[in-house]
Each structure stands twice: as structure tokens, then as C-alpha cells.
Amino acid sequence: MSSEPTSPASPDPAASVPAPSHPASPIAMDALSTVLARIDDLDDPALQARLARRIDGKTKPLGALGAIEALAIRIGMIVGGTAPRLHAPQVVVFAADHGLARHRTSAYPSDVTVQMVRNFLDGGAAVSVLARQHGLALSVVDCGVRTAIAPRAGLIDRRIAAGTADALQGPAMSAEQCLRAIDNGIALAGALPGNVLLLGEMGIGNTSAAALLLARLTGWPIDDCVGRGTGLDDAGLAHKREILRQVMARDAAMTHDGADAAQGLPNDSSVRVLAALASLGGFEIATMVGTVLRAAADRRVIVVDGLITSVAVLVAEQLAPMVLQRCVFAHRSAEAAHGRLLAHWGVEPLLQLGLRLGEGSGAALAWPLIVSACRLLDEMASFDDAGVAGPA
């Protein structure tokens, strides 16, 4: 069997995740530099050829399984073998609040963040249902929710503060906060079991943070990066765009203290990326960046959900370009900027269902396709095995 999903009755993975023992910036920077150095190029023409021969030799016309064949090869390249086994898949939902949300950039109030975190943990959210259906372990990480949540099963406490600062007035995070969040994510990924990570997020206002980072890191106009998020009407969307234009102007005018903390990284572009993340991002996005980097270093399959998780991957990719080799993109969301980012990378997602929920729901919906790709590669008969004549 090519996949061994975690049973819903298995021990709570959140209970085994220790808190990082080193919140100080210099040590956090060392951890980041160490992880970046481990993210190497997975290009292996010999392995890719063996995988292609194996899938081509199955009892089917060449290419008849379409994108599932490419998916099987990609997973084999990540895991490093022609019979990849996926075990203990982890859905991790990163949650935090955003100071910028006070400017009504979302259709919902910030109180919804903590309410939804409780909903995840109670089993009532979409991703909770899907994780239960598919036997996926689900953890929720409090990276900086405005209202503290009492300890309970499934919750991982990695709070930096009660939400970020107002990015319209100044940097959303200090350099130290940003590095602590990344370090939290690195430690989290190192402690979770399995070789598959499915990314999810929750945070009222985080589509604004994602749009700001997307514009800053790609150079695209901010208006092209802003969408309706949780369902803004036309007036709300126009207001959101105006607020984010002002944030971009503030950001351009300021000296980023994140640059000072980024000394010692491999190149100057890392300084720029960390400065942008501190100025415009969120605690959940920064923590997710650290988790993606560590998962990439460990050669885990990283299943990417929608816009916000993709922007976290963008930040990670600009720090370590080979991160993208470890990613499977679950779906193309209804946010136009998400489709543009996927096209920028030249990647095709597995699904296009008009989703815009977040939470990791799209990643969980794509999970059966990932399992199927592995099982077909491993269990489907070849022409020789089945005694079936091949093509003439």
C-alpha cells in the first residue's frame, strides 16, 4: 500500500511538538541559515527516467492518466524512489490576527479568528470534516491570535503577540518577532511526524497581508494582487485597495529594521525578503515560511492550498528557490492573484473548483488524488506482469 494515512484515533501530534528553546534572534538566524543550506536541488535525471519508465509500462496507453502521471513522478522525485510511501500526513492550520484588519479590509471582524480556531478544534470546520474523512492528522497553531486560547488537544501554542501591529502605521512585525515566528515554524516541522505536510491558515485580514507581500516581492501593482477575500462587495473591495495602496506607500518610504537582523544570510536578496515579511506579513505567514523551509529541507511533500499558503511558499522560495521542487499545488482559488502566481511559477494545480475558503480545505480535497497517484505507481500492473500486449 503506497499511503499510510494517520488514523483519526492516533495520538494527538500537537502533544509531541516541543516549544523552541531559543527565541533570541541570533540563534533563530543560525537555525534559518542552517535550514536554507540543506535545501538542495532534487534534479536527478536518472531517477526521473526510472519513474517515467515505470508509469509508462503500466497497462494503459502512454499518458492516459494525464496529470496523475506527472503527479506520481513528482512525488517520487521528492521522496526519492520509484515506489514512494506517504505516511502520517499532517494538516497544519496556522492562525493569527492582523492589526491592519481594524481598517475594515475584511467582511468579517477579527473576533472570527479565535471563533474559527475553536471550530477547527471542535471538529466543525470544513477542513476538520475533510481531515476526519481522509484520516489526516489536524493541528492548529496559534501564532498570534488576538484572544489567547486555553490549552487543548490539537492546539499548538506558538504565540508571538496578540496579533500584528497595524501595517498602515508601521511594520507589522519587528525583525525579532519575524525571526522568532520563522524559528517557531522550523522547530514545528522538525517535531511533526510523517513525510507529508498539508498547509492551511486562518486569520481575518490575512488576504491583505498576502496581497501586500505578493506585490512587494513580485513588483506587480497592488491593485492586481487584491481580491475580495472573505466576500467583500464592490465598495468594500475599493476600500481595501485604497488602504493597501497606502500601506505600500508607507512601506516604500520606510527603512526596514528587518534588514538589520538579516545579516549573515546567504545573499542580499534574503535581507530584502525578510524585510518585506516583517513589514507587511503576519505571524501565521512567517511561521508557515519556517515550516515550509524545514519541510523542504527534510524532503517532505508540501501540499499547498490557496493564496495565503502560496504567498508563504513565495517567501520561502525567494529565500531558497528549490523549495518549489517539493510542492504540490492543490487548487487554483477564486482569487485572481492566485492564478497569476501559479502561472508565474509555471505550475498546474490539481483542482479548479472556485474555492476561496482557505483553512487547508483545498489541500485536504486534493489528498485522495495524491494517494491515488502513489498507489497507481506502486500497485498497477505492467504489461509484462499482466500478460497484456503492449502497443504495436
Q: Which of 69, 201, 359, 379 is catalytic?
A: 359
CB 324 within 8 A of CB 345: yes
Q: Which residues contact 247 (CB under 8 A, 6 or more apart)?
A: 100, 167, 168, 208, 212, 280
Whether the model pTM is above 0.85: yes
What is d(CA 315, CA 299) in angstroms, rounded to the nearest whole number? 18
pLDDT beneath 50, residues of the chain: 1-10, 21-24, 256-264
Residue 390 has what pLDDT? 79
Please report, rounded to a whole number, the percentage of residues in the chain having pLDDT higher than 90.
84
Which triple of cell numbers denotes residue 126?
A: 470544513
What is d(CA 372, CA 177) in angstroms, rounded to the nearest whole number? 41
Q: How far out from the chain centre does Cα 68 lie?
A: 21
Which triple of cell numbers denotes residue 20?
A: 523552541
Residue 69 has what pLDDT? 98
Question: For the chain, which domains are there?
Answer: 3-39+87-368 (3.40.50.10210)
Residue 39, phi then psi, degrees to nearest 5 = -90, 90
Residue 240 sits at the vertex; the CA angle it makes with 236 and 241, to the nearest 5 degrees, is 120
CB 305 within 8 A of CB 200: yes
Task: State which H helix or E strand residue 217 sits in.
Answer: helix 206-218
Contacts 24+ apart (CB under 8 A), 79-84: 79/195, 79/299, 79/301, 80/47, 80/299, 81/47, 82/47, 82/50, 82/51, 82/54, 82/377, 83/2, 83/377, 83/378, 84/2, 84/374, 84/377, 84/378
Residue 1 has what pLDDT? 38
Distances (CA, A) of 111 to 78, 157, 201, 263, 360: 39, 18, 16, 37, 20
Residue 231's CB is within 10 A of a number of other CB atoms, namely 11
Residue given cell 477547527 in the structure block: 120
Instruction: Please name every residue paired with 39 in a beta bridge, in sequence order, or none if there are none.
Output: none
Residue 380 DSSP class: S
Q: Which residues contact 241 (CB under 8 A, 6 or more apart)?
A: 222, 223, 226
Over residues 270-284, the pLDDT tens digits come to 889 999 999 999 999
DSSP 44-112: -HHHHHHHHHHHHTBSS-TTTTTHHHHHHHHHHHHHTSSS--EES-EEEEEEE--GGGGG--SSS-THH
CB 368 within 8 A of CB 376: no
Q: Can 69 be counted among the known catalytic residues? A: no
Task: For CA atoms 321, 327, 328, 332, give the dihedral sign.
Answer: negative
DSSP 18-53: PPPS--SHHHHHHHHHHHHHH------HHHHHHHHH
Residue 314's CB is within 10 A of a number of other CB atoms, namely 23
